Structure 1
């Protein structure tokens, strides 16, 4: 039995259709949702989402946000959402290299903690995007 999944970013709705199952990157670890799940609100971190619909599983890179779960609908509100088939691998690899260089520079900066946290998040997003883009051909 399916439920409605909506994934929304500041740019608009990225995905909205009935799904059978979704696994989301919770801030404290991944969690799965099926139809009839108990209602809750969960913070999301940078990570991989797996959306099962019509007998196939789609993978997406999500970053920071929230998921609102009800018995028949899940609304995901995140900063970014990129499905594996939409990721430009070369661009993701450049973003990873840039983030690694910026992270190294942030370690020695006087205002280390905030800058370091931003660069660390950028690196995590780039690594996730590379993983999904690379794995997309195997799914």
Structure 2
């Protein structure tokens, strides 16, 4: 990814986080006023599509959706998944995945006799009994 892609990604994430924070603030305002609320799935979708840091910041600063445990757990799961995805993308961009696969494939484990991607020992061939010991003899 070139600098243009990095800039577009940063702009997208910035817009998504601002929009997510604003959605949480609007929902909090409606909650206090007793008005119609935003659906939880809409708030979670905003977090899923890149607005998770904005969602967590709003949850912390506005004290909003902190006692709803299913919602909070799902929001934290979204953050964990995004962290794993970001680490995988960073490892791929840095070229670490090839080195890691080579290490797991034998170079790293070979010293202790373990490999993950090599076949095990050949199975013994099936024994064939001579004909005279077959059925009916």
Q: What's the TM-score, normalizing by structure 2?
A: 0.28
User: Larger relative contact order (C-alpha < 8 A, sep ≥ 6)?
Assistant: 1
Q: What's the TM-score, normalizing by structure 1?
A: 0.28
Larger fraction in helix:
2
Larger fraction in strand:
1
Could you say which structure has the larger radius of gyration?
Answer: 2
